[in-house]
Amino acid sequence: MLYQTAFLINILKNQKTDFEKDVVNIELNSKTIYSYHSTEYVKDAGTPDRYYSVCKDVEAGIVKAKNLRNPQKCIFLDRDGTINKYVGFARYLNQIELENNSSIGLKDINQSEFISIVITNQPVVARGEVSFEQLREINNKIETLLGKDGAYFDDLFFCPHHPYKGFEGEIPSLKFDCDCRKPKICLLLQAKEKYNIDSTKCYFVGDTTMDIQTGVNAGMKTILVKTGEKGEDGKYDVKPDFVINSLVEIKNIMGGD
Ligand SMILES: [Mg+2]
Ligand SMILES: [Zn+2]
């Protein structure tokens, strides 16, 4: 409270003050304020250029569209081979690199009316090859790499399970036929609930037929991206609604929505 008072006195004296530095950072340490993650429209409008860009978004209806009271449009994305480079099952941080230009595609999504949610199968956890903590570090690295390019995803849901038991080093409690492993849609239903998502206005994007099957199972339009496994996994006999060479092309599909 003391710092907030100092902040107000500065304003009254017409002196320069900064809400983030003079209040938020200090109060964060004292744990009297809390933060939460939001998919709604939040932007710095502190310079004339930024202010006019926000005005444009208001006029284009993007601010209203991203209000969670309104049903959300979402692009669901696979992780490996779609956002980061496919290296089989990624186990180590040094295996994580972004897929060519995936950050450009995500940035286009971020600037659109669509929110973006990653849905990924990570059976490496059930196999005992990657711990929950290591998986968190890998996901953080992907977010950091995207962040360097000014891109982000709004949330990530993963399935740590695997259906077949009997391997050395595995975690038996995670070895069962769960409802969340793609192409099952339990993770999509959780996301739908959390973000008020309208499935009829969504796309599922991925580099395998399993991703396309997931989108089909959830009643969404599907996009095969020819990076990573390039749709050559041969697991499901499904046809995507759209095929793109990389995430950069996703803006053409969103624009035509
Ligand atoms: Mg993949
Ligand atoms: Zn699962």
pLDDT per position as a tens digit, 14-67:
777 777 777 777 777 777 777 778 899 998 898 999 999 999 999 999 999 999
Q: Are residues 12 and 127 in the same domain?
A: no
**CATH number of the domain enclosing 180:** 3.40.50.1000
- 80 as an active site residue: the answer is yes
Lowest mean pLDDT among 26-35, 93-102, 202-211, 218-227: 26-35
pLDDT for res 257? 52
Given 70, 93, 114, the domain boundary residue is 70
Q: Are residues 135 and 87 in the same domain?
A: yes
Q: Are residues 128 and 222 in the same domain?
A: yes
Ligand 1 centroid–CA 139 distance in Å is: 14
As for how many domains the chain has, the answer is: 3
Token code pair at residue 14: 């017409």
Q: Are residues 124 and 185 in the same domain?
A: yes
pLDDT for res 235? 97
Q: Are residues 209 and 240 in the same domain?
A: yes
Given 48, 70, 92, the domain boundary residue is 70
Q: Are residues 147 and 213 in the same domain?
A: yes
Ligand found nearest the CA of 185: 2
Assessment of whether the complete model's pTM goes beyond 0.85: yes
Q: Are residues 216 and 90 in the same domain?
A: yes
Label residue 256 by pLDDT band (50, 70, 90): low
Given 47, 70, 93, the domain boundary residue is 70
Q: Are residues 126 and 158 in the same domain?
A: yes
Q: Pick the catalytic residue: 80, 108, 154, 207?
A: 80
Q: Are residues 82 and 134 in the same domain?
A: yes
Torsion (CA) 16, 21, 27, 31 in degrees, nearest 10: 170
- Contact by Cβ (8 Å): 80, 98: no
Q: Pick the catalytic residue: 22, 44, 49, 78?
A: 78
The model's pLDDT over 88-112, given as tens digits with 9 standing for 90+, comes to 988 999 999 999 899 999 999 999 9
With b for 16 or more beta-carbon neighbours within 10 A and e for fewer, the 225-236 pattern comes to: bebbbebeeeee
Ligand 2 centroid–CA 184 distance in Å is: 9
Q: Are residues 145 and 119 in the same domain?
A: yes
Q: Are residues 97 and 53 in the same domain?
A: no
Q: How far is CA 109 from the centre of its chain?
A: 10
Query: 76: helix, coil or strand?
Result: strand
Is the preceding peptide bond at 183 cis, omega within 30 degrees of 0? yes
CA distance 35 to 202: 28
Domain that holds residue 20: 1-35
pLDDT for res 25? 75
Ligand found nearest the CA of 120: 1
Q: Are residues 49 and 96 in the same domain?
A: no
